[in-house]
A and B are shown apart, each in its own frame.
Chain A
Amino acid sequence: NAGVMQNPRHLVRRRGQEARLRCSPMKGHSHVYWYRQLPEEGLKFMVYLQKENIIDESGMPKERFSAEFPKEGPSILRIQQVVRGDSAAYFCASSPNRADTQYFGPGTRLTVL
């Protein structure tokens, strides 16, 4: 059973470009969570999605960030018009049910030049 997969593992963007981060949950998992880890800081929750629904987006910045988890395909975290402060490691986690243990992917390291 493959674990949570994220791609790309490393992403470099120039200021003003768009970044798209993809997350494929573990097989049988329909709940996805995105977290961000700024350099030298702990992980911070961003958003929790279940297939086709956003359940909790209380940690998402109000502008430029969006997330989706379509019926088919991976979950996507989209950052529009990136700025240097968006440089961070973005981790995705998945769980089979709402209250179950979350399993994390290897992360996408975004660098904004």
Chain B
Amino acid sequence: DAKTTQPNSMESNEEEPVHLPCNHSTISGTDYIHWYRQLPSQGPEYVIHGLTSNVNNRMASLAIAEDRKSSTLILHRATLRDAAVYYCILLIIQGAQKLVFGQGTRLTINP
């Protein structure tokens, strides 16, 4: 399974931007980059995904490096409700459709 590397934890302050990095140096041309987050005692929540171009939606932005070996999830203005574990996952379009969850980044938001 294609692997991703994320910092174990990050901390930020409320109403400030947060940049969550992810390295995926073994990514292949057809792998999609997906981000999910999991709030305490809840199921994973889809955040955003992309292939090559940067993506924006109402929750976040995804910046993908030109060589696709890394990406950054951007929360433009963090709130306390954004405190969660964030997972960066590669979805292999041609292979099995299972999501392979790593340890993710535990994001703490300070009021």
* Chain A residues close to B by CB (< 8 Å): 4, 31, 33, 35, 42-45, 48, 55-56, 58-59, 91, 93, 95, 98-99, 101-107
Q: Complex formed: what's the CA distance from A91 to B16 in Å?
A: 32
Chain B: number of interface residues, binned into ranges = 20 to 34
Question: Would you give 29 A-B contacts (Cβ < 8 Å), ordered by A?
Answer: A4-B43, A31-B97, A33-B98, A33-B99, A35-B99, A42-B101, A42-B102, A42-B103, A43-B44, A43-B99, A43-B101, A45-B98, A58-B96, A58-B98, A93-B43, A93-B44, A93-B99, A99-B91, A101-B34, A101-B46, A101-B49, A102-B97, A102-B99, A103-B46, A104-B36, A104-B43, A104-B45, A105-B43, A106-B43
Residue of B nearest to A45 (CB): B98
A56 near B98: Cβ-Cβ < 8 Å:
yes
Residues of chain A with a CB closer than 8 A to B102's CB:
42
Which residue numbers of B lie inside 8 Å of A, CB to CB? 34, 36, 42-46, 49, 87, 91, 93, 96-104
Provide the bound-state CA to CA distance between A55 and B98, in Å: 11
Total of A-B residue pairs, C-beta within 8 Å: 56
Is the Cβ of A56 less than 8 Å from the Cβ of B44?
no
Which residues of the partner chain B approach A59 to less than 8 Å between Cβ atoms?
98
- Closest A residue to B42 by CB, please name it: A106
A-chain residues with CB within 8 Å of residue B96 when the two chains form the complex: 48, 56, 58
Within the assembled complex, what's the spacing in Å between the Cα atoms of A101 and B110?
A: 31
- B97: chain A residues within 8 A (beta carbon): 31, 33, 48, 55-56, 95, 98-99, 102
Question: Which residues in B have their C-beta under 8 angstroms from that of A4?
Answer: 43
- Closest chain-A Cβ to B43's Cβ sits at a distance in Å of 4
In angstroms, Cα B95 to Cα A55, docked, is: 12
